[in-house]
Amino acid sequence: MTRASLDKQPHEVASMFDDVAERYDLTNDVISLGQARLWRKAVAQAVDARPAQKVLDLAAGTATSSQPFAQAGAYVVPCDFSLGMLRVGKQRHPWMPFTAGDAMKLPFKDDTFDAVTISFGLRNVQDTGAALREMYRVTRPGGRVVICEFSEPTWGPFRTVYIEYLMRALPPVARTVCTNPDAYVYLAESIRTWPNQPELAALLQDAGWSKVAYRNLTGGVVALHRGFKQN
């Protein structure tokens, strides 16, 4: 298995990420032109984890995204359905409670977490609505969700250049640092077919989240969406 198809069969996507686990973080830094680190900081600020809070970090991969929450004193659970990613993460951070789980059927009780977050992973889930409802289920009343995902650049001319970069430049760039560049062909295709900012906000509302809002990062290349579970 070298790449997933756009119908996003869970076993295909998990296998694809198993293949790229060892160099995933490095590749992300390269293909995002260094922006990935800034996006992670923005996520940490939006989640606003506090000491003793419970945070679920979905599609956590090797737990690079989980570190800011742990550093803030929260109890963070890195969760992913790629066992290859979890193995690499556990080698790097043996003290963290890595958990294998599918976003469409989370292995947690209702009303468990103060915050649930997912960065660049919701796009890879087969059923977006099911995942958003599961996130809602495991979040305690008054808790919050933060989603960081690729989106649609707001300025038309830049949007055109961005799509050209995705489809033409990204796979060759990935080939220089990644053992499975075909995975990044899937990445480009999945970004191009993903809902834009208002469409994702509507999906959050449909799943039960309230006070849904979003803000753009890097001109809309990435968007942060946030919602709350009513008391």
Torsion sign over Cα 55, 23, 127, 40 = positive
CB 118 within 8 A of CB 58: yes
SS3 104: coil
Count of C-beta atoms within a 10 Å radius of residue 222: 23
- CA-based max dimension of the chain: 49
103 marked as binding residue: yes
Helices 182-192 and 10-20: crossing angle in degrees, nearest 10, is 130
Instruction: Check the annotation: does 7 bind a ligand.
Output: no
- Whether 80 has a binding-site annotation, put simply, is yes
Residue 36 marked in a binding site: no
176, 37 in Cβ contact below 8 A?
Answer: no
For 202-220, b/e burial (b = at least 16 CB within 10 A) is ebbeebebeebebeebbeb
Beta strands in 49-128 (DSSP E): 54-58, 75-80, 99-100, 113-119
- The SS3 call for residue 65 is coil
Extract the tokens encoding 60. 């956590």
Q: Any binding-site annotation on 210?
A: no
The binding site consists of 62, 80, 102-103, 119
Which positions make up the binding site for S-adenosyl-L-methionine? Answer: 62, 80, 102-103, 119
